[in-house]
Structure 1
């Protein structure tokens, strides 16, 4: 992927105080209060980093439904879709009952998929994190690995939610692109048991874990990117997340220069 922008362009994008819609799955998890607290803290950290890199932020849950969510984020210049529960498997042609299946939130699925598809139509810059990365792939017709199995490095199992994130390496595509400022190999924090399988139409892989799991995707023609890891995690490198947020701003200036090889 190639994304070329000057320091002046990034500065101009930042100075405009463009609006970023930060979309979380839900603010109500009465059945899982610890998970809700953990998720809310990650979202709040993302909001704080976005404000610190020059965005005005509108934060909204997705489980208000497609029509309400599209209305709530309709005026945003950019979109950030956060992590959360498994996507309902019927959205990518798989039956329920797969190993380690988690809770599903169908209303949030439908709403976030609708936002991604509208972003594609309007060329609105969009970044997906973890579940958001997977939703991007599903929105463009891709599929997911429903479960990575018992032995993998992408999530700590059978631990308190505060310890679920696991550090591991990610190799980034060598050519210049949206992730180029992060380096060729970085350490990230992940907490997922599913992953991108068949890529959606127009998407290309731009980063991988050592075990071959796709860790980032980007659209070949649109300013839409997903990362499987959690750059907003407390132990993650904050500079990496800032670079992603600034890269999203840069796409406000020149989205037409985004390409995936």
Structure 2
């Protein structure tokens, strides 16, 4: 479909604008997040970029209220108490509970209103937690993240198999893809209405989507510089298609 819409608005929601204690990690995250913004603007979106840790949950909802679609990008682990977990686990990162609260509220509003939403890495985990799911707090297998390497080498390249009947496979135009990922947490219990949309070679869930709402999460980084060149563009085009379907339904309902 990919119809053009004047002033089509996309909210790109990151965790924080400052990590003074981890400059190398912050620089890496900024490269990834900036790619999402740049490619979305190239595709014709008007982008609002906001850091969820820098505002309250209510402010985040207000800032993104006019968004036609949302992308929640990567970052730190979700604070465990949001999914009934405990701190002190292996590989635990810094937590930004304010960002978690705001992004969870954003997913729940997107579900309620039918707003297209894409979660990338942490964004997938936020989707799952927001809809009542839980997370495996640590994996350390060398497939999903390169271990004991500098931050610039942390992304691992591996294959992923998409569910043939998934919206994600339709967007990407194939079921077997290569991705780059860098995560140490994964989906455990799926949130209400969510189904696996892709698996890694070890059987772990690498993507999920909602059975009725236009909500998709990918555990990998399509915005990474060395990811397949068309991957992010196709996912953004999928959001545009979902927005077009929603806009048409609203137009018909109002007629």
For structure 1, the 5+ residue unaligned runs are: 1-8
Give 2:148's aligned residue: 158
In structure 2, C-alpha distance between the alignment counterparts of 1:256 and 1:194, rounded to whole Å: 35
SS of alignment partner, residue 226 of structure 1: strand
State whether structure 2 residue 153 is matched by structure 1 residue 173.
no
1:111 and 2:93 equivalent? no
CA RMSD of superposed structures (Å): 1.5
- Whether the 8 Å CA contact 2:134–2:189 is kept in 1: the answer is yes
The corresponding residue for 2:241 is: 250
**What is residue 114 of structure 2 aligned with on the other side?**
123
How far did 1:241 drift? Answer: 0.9
Stretches of structure 2 lacking an aligned partner (at least 5 in a row): 249-255
> Does the 8 Å CA contact 2:168/2:197 hold for their aligned counterparts?
no
Equivalent of residue 136 in structure 1, options 127, 134, 145 = 127
Contact 1:222 1:256 in 2 (8 A): no
**Match among 62, 66, 80 for residue 52 of structure 2:** 62
Report if the CA contact (8 A) 2:160-2:177 is conserved.
yes
Higher relative contact order (CA 8 A, sep 6+): 1
Mapped to 1, the partners of 2:247 and 2:214 lie a distance apart of: 8
- Map 1:58-97 to 2 at 5 A: 58-63=48-53, 64-97=55-88
Aligned to 1:4: none
- The alignment partner of 1:254 has SS state of helix
1:206 aligns with 2:189: no
Residue aligning to 1:22: 12
Q: TM-score, normalised by structure 2?
A: 0.93
